[in-house]
Amino acid sequence: MDHFNYRNGQLHAEDVPLAQVAERFGTPCYVYSRATLERHFHAFDQALGDHPHLICYAVKANSNLAVLNVLARLGAGFDIVSQGELERVIQAGGDPARVVFSGVAKQEGEMARALELDIKCFNVESRAELKRLNAVAGKLGKLAPVSLRVNPDVDARTHPYISTGLKDNKFGIAASEALDAYRQAASLEHLDVVGMDCHIGSQLTELSPFLDALDRLLLLIERLEAEGIKLDHLDLGGGLGVTYRDETPPAPADYAKALLERLADKRGAHKPLTLLFEPGRAIAANAGVLLTRVEFLKPGETRHFAIVDAAMNDLIRPALYQAWQAIIPVEQRSSQETQRYDVVGPVCETGDFLGKGRELAIAPGDLLAIRSAGAYGFVMASNYNSRPRAAEVMVDGGEAYLVRAREAFSLLWAGEALLPESAGASHGEDS
């Protein structure tokens, strides 16, 4: 569900016609809907009802400051994977006490900064990380709250590049090793064991892998309790999928209900564990579109190309995962005949496509919207081909705000330097 709809043949974001946004801010341009972001956050938050919980939005999905700010104002927590994401959360008004820090290779400096800000929890992914965190916390005279990310070896049945909960994946601590790792954590002086977490993959469209993972974690929690290691929270990660085309993922309410029921079944009268979730895509994907303009139509012998001004450097999901995202005209035309196009960008790679074989009625100069681009869109953009990054706009009711300007060309060489004139003087000389 989102707030991108046609009215009088014009695609709108909330009450703003997208053609107007393109006119004002240029293309390519990401457009986000505040109302959709809010609705998606509430869907999770309300689904948990009275059960103690915290929704920690996964910043990696979309780390635009305005997006983070919208969520911070709703009282969201945040799941981060780098100091960069932490600084963005703080800049956007997020509460560090609601931040959980995931990732397989946290550096000492990143740990120190997170400890200084007193974040809620470190989701630790290896024994070596436990030791490093203990040492950093010791040096700073801090007690680091930790949860161990357990790899439950559950098949998330998603794209192999975004499956994270299998033995073969680099993430987390194997379930078979977890008890021992918890004992180690509990023995380290500067660590405070507070939770357990897992994240088995992204774009999951079925409930069963989540439930299987939960069952495995609950077994471990029981064993830990028997040894006197008591946890306050259980973090079930993110991963809930969205509809890009015809997928039918469970709604956040059904997903939460199923997990709460399983928890009630298995934990009975135990003191309730606070539940944490780390949704990224389910909150942001359908809250954004990428606007692009048709530069040329290029008929070919075997296929026709619609060459647009957005490219794989702006949205890499189609090229990287063969992901399908809807591409629709911003202004509907009834008169033109449709044609099948490969929608491609200006980048010099055959892999630079945004969609293949799309039926469109378009002419050069027309605007297209690539849907479901609010998550893993701008954040994965690059400057490949020395292309500046697209603008980002947030729509709120009838207003459109520029929340990040299109990158200036000067940024493409900021921080670089030519070699000094003297360099290379000895080059090629006989020694």
Q: Which residues are catalytic?
A: 348
Closest listed residue to residue 369, CA positions, set 331, 425, 395, 405: 331
- Identify the residue among 40, 120, 142, 199 touching ligand PLP (CB under 6 A): 199
Report if residue 162 touches ligand LYS, rule: CB under 6 A. yes
Single-letter amino acid code for the residue at 334: S
Q: What are phi and psi of 154, to 5 degrees?
A: -120, 135
User: What is the distance between the terminal CA atoms of the chain, rounded to a whole angstrom?
Assistant: 71
317: partner contacted, choices ligand LYS, ligand PLP, none (Cβ within 5-8 A by kind)? ligand LYS
Residues 6+ apart with CB under 8 A from 68: 57, 59, 78, 88, 89, 91, 92, 93, 94
Closest listed residue to residue 283, CA positions, set 241, 237, 328: 241
282: partner contacted, choices ligand LYS, ligand PLP, none (Cβ within 5-8 A by kind)? ligand PLP
Report if residue 376 touches ligand LYS, rule: CB under 6 A. yes
Q: CA angle, 368 as apex, 367 and 369 as ends, to 5°? A: 130
Report if residue 202 touches ligand LYS, rule: CB under 6 A. yes
Binding-site entries for pyridoxal 5'-phosphate: 239, 278-281, 376
* Least separation in angstroms between CB 14 and ligand PLP: 23
Signed CA dihedral, 308, 314, 320, 324: sign only? negative
Specify which residues 198 forms β-bridges with.
none
Binding-site entries for substrate: 281, 317, 321, 349, 376
Separation between Cα atoms, residue 301 and residue 82, nearest integer Å: 48
Separation between Cα atoms, residue 351 and residue 378, nearest integer Å: 18
Report if residue 279 touches ligand PLP, rule: CB under 6 A. yes
Closest listed residue to residue 104, CA positions, set 126, 137, 121: 126
Report if residue 249 touches ligand PLP, rule: CB under 6 A. no
- Binding to ligand PLP by CB under 6 A, coded x per residue (else -) over 86-115, reads ----------------x-------------
- Identify the residue among 203, 286, 313, 372 touching ligand LYS (CB under 6 A): 203
Compare residues 162 and 258 and give the one whose CB is closer to ligand LYS. 162
279: partner contacted, choices ligand LYS, ligand PLP, none (Cβ within 5-8 A by kind)? ligand PLP
Report if residue 154 touches ligand PLP, rule: CB under 6 A. no
The stretch among 126-134, 177-185, 238-246, 268-276 that binds ligand PLP (CB under 6 A) is 238-246
- Identify the residue among 29, 48, 61, 181 touching ligand PLP (CB under 6 A): 61
Separation between Cα atoms, residue 375 and residue 35, nearest integer Å: 16
288: partner contacted, choices ligand PLP, ligand LYS, none (Cβ within 5-8 A by kind)? none
The answer to whether the beta carbons of residues 230 and 221 sit under 8 Å apart is: no
* Least separation in angstroms between CB 395 and ligand LYS: 22
Binding-site entries: 239, 278-281, 317, 321, 349, 376
Separation between Cα atoms, residue 403 and residue 414, nearest integer Å: 21
Report if residue 326 touches ligand LYS, rule: CB under 6 A. no
Report if residue 237 touches ligand PLP, rule: CB under 6 A. yes
Report if residue 85 touches ligand PLP, rule: CB under 6 A. no
Separation between Cα atoms, residue 213 and residue 206, nearest integer Å: 12
Q: In the window 282-311, what residues touch ligand PLP (CB under 6 A)?
A: 282
Report if residue 317 touches ligand LYS, rule: CB under 6 A. yes
* Least separation in angstroms between CB 49 and ligand LYS: 27
Binding residues for ligand PLP, rule CB under 6 A, total 16
Q: In the window 8-67, what residues touch ligand LYS (CB under 6 A)?
A: 60
Residues 6+ apart with CB under 8 A from 342: 303, 304, 305, 306, 353, 355, 356, 357, 358
239: partner contacted, choices ligand LYS, ligand PLP, none (Cβ within 5-8 A by kind)? ligand PLP
CA-to-CA dists, residue 328 to 94, 284, 310, 332, 415, angstroms: 35, 19, 14, 9, 39
Separation between Cα atoms, residue 293 and residue 157, nearest integer Å: 35
Q: Where are the beta strands (DSSP E) in 199-239?
A: 233-235
79: partner contacted, choices ligand LYS, ligand PLP, none (Cβ within 5-8 A by kind)? ligand PLP
Binding positions for ligand LYS, rule: CB under 6 A: 60, 162, 202-203, 317, 321, 376
Binding positions for ligand PLP, rule: CB under 6 A: 58, 61, 79, 102, 164, 199, 202, 237-240, 278-282
